[in-house]
Amino acid sequence: MSTLARPTEGRMIAGVCAALARRFGTTPTTMRVLFLVSCLLPGPQFLLYLALWILLPEEGRTHSSAW
């Protein structure tokens, strides 16, 4: 399994589904379909997507600290 980071290539909106697909060894299209189907069920799926968009680092981006 690879690290969980949003890729810079192959993403449609934020790269969350592409990152999850890479992590779990499936295609991004499969993960997107699973997400859309899960939106038919009650729950906080959209809020979880937004949280992952904010919390997952972008692939290749270095985090420099000013401390």
Is the pLDDT assigned to residue 60 strictly greater than 70? yes
Tokens of 41: 């069920």
pLDDT digits (tens, 9 = 90+) for 19-45: 999 999 999 999 999 999 999 999 999
* Average pLDDT of the segment spanning 4-20: 90
More confident residue, 2 or 9: 9
CA-CA distance, 27 to 8, in Å (whole number)? 16
Note whether 18 and 28 are within 8 A (CB): yes
Q: How far apart are CA 67 and CA 54, in angstroms?
A: 22
Residue 2: the pLDDT is 64
Q: What is the pLDDT of residue 8?
A: 87
Give the whole-angstrom CA distance, residue 14 versus residue 54. 9
Mean pLDDT over the full length of the chain = 87
